[in-house]
């Protein structure tokens, strides 16, 4: 088998060496959060969707009712040789307010909650340590209400939500 490389979102990676990992975060409305992570060096792909709920394959309309238990989430595929999960966590903490329960700014409801959905036990340990470090630093300015749990499901959102701000020429953000 020959050497295979791919370029996705301007990032070149070696398919034989692997090194790709996934991370899933909920930090309010997924549009701005997606844009912040897409700008991070080493991010290969992003997908917005829904996780943490009870209804299989929910629609945006289902999730907006607040009755499904899903959070609007961002799933990031990243090259772990170029960006670490810990760096992902650092961006997660600054791209939203982890002290707001079931809301972010004007968006209110459990679908806008702060949550980290871990793909394995290493991510779980890193997320818990990162949250504790934030709490200990007192930089959050209040109680950190971010939920941390193992990812049980992820349902991609409708296509029109993917790269929503970029598709509309609104890829300017006040997020880091």
29 catalytically annotated:
yes
Sort strands 43-51 and 71-79 into parallel, antiparallel or unpaired: antiparallel
Alpha carbon distance 134, 102 (integer Å): 19
Per annotation, catalytic residue among 29, 51, 95, 118? 29
Q: Which residues are catalytic?
A: 29
């Amino acid at each position: 088998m020959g050497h295979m490389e791919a370029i996705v979102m301007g990032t070149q990676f070696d398919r034989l060496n692997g090194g790709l990992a996934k991370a899933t975060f909920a930090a309010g409305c997924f549009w701005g959060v997606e844009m912040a992570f897409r700008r991070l060096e080493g991010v290969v792909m992003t997908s917005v969707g829904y996780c943490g709920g009870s209804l299989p394959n929910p629609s945006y309309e289902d999730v907006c009712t607040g009755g499904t238990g899903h959070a609007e989430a961002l799933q990031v595929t990243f090259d772990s040789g170029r960006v670490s999960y810990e760096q992902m966590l650092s961006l997660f903490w600054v791209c939203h307010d982890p002290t707001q329960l079931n809301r972010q700014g004007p968006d209110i409801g459990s679908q806008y909650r702060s949550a980290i959905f871990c793909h394995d036990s290493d991510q779980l340990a890193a997320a818990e340590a990162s949250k504790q470090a934030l709490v200990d630093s007192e930089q959050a300015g209040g109680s950190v209400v971010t939920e941390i749990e193992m990812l049980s499901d992820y349902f991609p959102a409708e296509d029109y939500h993917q790269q929503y701000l970029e598709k509309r020429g609104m890829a300017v953000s006040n997020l880091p």
